[in-house]
Structure 1
Amino acid sequence: MVVENIQPIDPIAFSIGGLDVRWYGVIIGTGLILALILAIREGNRRGLGKDDFPDLMLWAIPISIISARIYYVIFEWDYYGSHLGDIPKIWHGGIAIHGALIGAIITTYIFTKKKGISFWKMADIAAPSIILGQAIGRWGNFMNQEAHGGEVSRSFLEGLHLPQFIIDQMYINGTYYHPTFLYESLWNIVGFIILMLLRRVNLRRGEIFFSYIIWYSIGRFFIEGMRTDSLMVGDLRMAQLISLALIVVSILAVIYRRKSGLASERYLESGN
């Protein structure tokens, strides 16, 4: 096979009236829709109003996208400081999940306080939806040929028994790369299954959400170490530092909430 003839997948899904709709946006949007449907169904079973999650998403989605972009731009200011016109161009990639989580958590906290709903109840219900959305969203990075790892050989990728279209898409500017988008997507799918099973365990409120944070952060820490596009603070990878911090804080929070009596209610119990 002549590798020079490999053509990457067109990142543009279709065009409408001169407007290009990219696969990145289509995939991210699909992930959000599926995540919302899952959250609404579980919210209804757990006694939330049918409009609670749709109302929350009206605020959380745009705020999360903005905060994810701001987070990314801050750590890439050497570039964006002299290319201000590129800041809004999120369709080219460049949003950080940790920034999105910050925006989503703050928005959800304010929303639940105004609605008189338990933040922890809503966070537990949303946790599987969040990680499912992340698993799907990583394929947007695949379409953009971004968020990949270091150089590998074609034989290495073939040894992973990957579909041909993934191997070909990992051929970027004459070099094959680790499909770290795939590693994280698969890690998140396993996390989604675990969180769905934890719903049956009837953990204390907040602990499904903390389980999500811990699971995602463990995977992100190791996968981030393989990537070539990490946001850096000096010689340190920001995502790894945050992942470690989130793991420690989540474990301590679970212990503290149990010992202090703040986590006396269970996931399957009704009430606000």
Structure 2
Amino acid sequence: MYNDIFTIAPVTIHGYGLSIAVGVLAAVLLASFRAKRKNLSSDIVYSLTLICLLAGFVGAKLLFVIVEFKAVLQKPIEIISGSGFVIYGGIIGGIIAALIYCRMKKVSFLRYFDLLIPSVV
């Protein structure tokens, strides 16, 4: 499969990345719609989405470094490379960030977790 959809100057849009972006957008819209129906804040949904995405990337990279510690010691550039992410680390990082954010905002983690899980699936 040819993964490049189109290129404009130095930017190339890849099919896999575009699919992920469309999936995230659809998930956020679904969660926002469900939040309104359950009288929960859409602003918190948007904030949680951004925070969980960022924490997910950090968690995925951190677990990669832990799992592949010997390889990373031999080749430290792997820490900042675009590859080397572990999905479980991303999930754990996102959940921990959501828990911390909900506690800081004094909102129910379980209500928002219940709201967001169908979008994640």
Interval containing the TM-score (normalised by the shorter chain)? 0.7 to 0.9
1:170-219 alpha-carbon deviations (Å, 9 max, x no partner): xxxxxxxxxxxxxxxxxxxxxxxxxxxxxxxxxxxxxxxxxxxxxxxxxx
1:49 match:
41
Change (3 A) 1:101 1:17: same
Q: TM-score normalized by structure 1? A: 0.41
2:80 match:
88
Change (3 A) 1:125 1:95: same
DSSP-derived class of the 1:60 partner: helix
Residue type matched to 2:39 in 1? Answer: G
Residue type matched to 1:51 in 2? Answer: D
Whose helix proportion is higher, 1 or 2? Answer: 2
The whole-number CA distance in structure 2 between the counterparts of 1:85 and 1:12 is: 26
The whole-number CA distance in structure 1 between the counterparts of 2:2 and 2:77 is: 24
Question: How many angstroms does 1:71 deviate by?
Answer: 1.2
The whole-number CA distance in structure 1 between the counterparts of 2:71 and 2:3 is: 23
Structure 1 residue corresponding to 2:98, chosen from 108, 111, 123: 108
The whole-number CA distance in structure 2 between the counterparts of 1:11 and 1:40 is: 31
Question: How many angstroms does 1:41 deviate by?
Answer: 0.9
Question: Where does 1:26-175 land on structure 2 (aligned, <5 Å)?
Answer: 26-90=18-82, 92=83, 94-131=84-121
Which of 1 and 2 has greater Rg?
1
Change (3 A) 1:52 1:70: same
Q: TM-score normalized by structure 2? A: 0.84
Residue type matched to 2:76 in 1? Answer: L
Question: How many angstroms does 1:10 deviate by?
Answer: 2.5
- Structure ranking higher on relative contact order (CA contacts 8 Å, 6+ apart): 2
Of 55-64 and 75-84, more deviation after overlay is shown by: 75-84
Identity of aligned residues (%): 27
**Which runs of 5 or more residues in structure 2 are unaligned?**
none
1:100-150 alpha-carbon deviations (Å, 9 max, x no partner): 11111111111111222111001111111111xxxxxxxxxxxxxxxxxxx
The whole-number CA distance in structure 2 between the counterparts of 1:12 and 1:20 is: 7
Q: Could you say what the CA RMSD is over the residues aligned between the two structures, in angstroms?
A: 1.9
Q: How many residue pairs align between the two structures? A: 121
DSSP-derived class of the 1:81 partner: helix
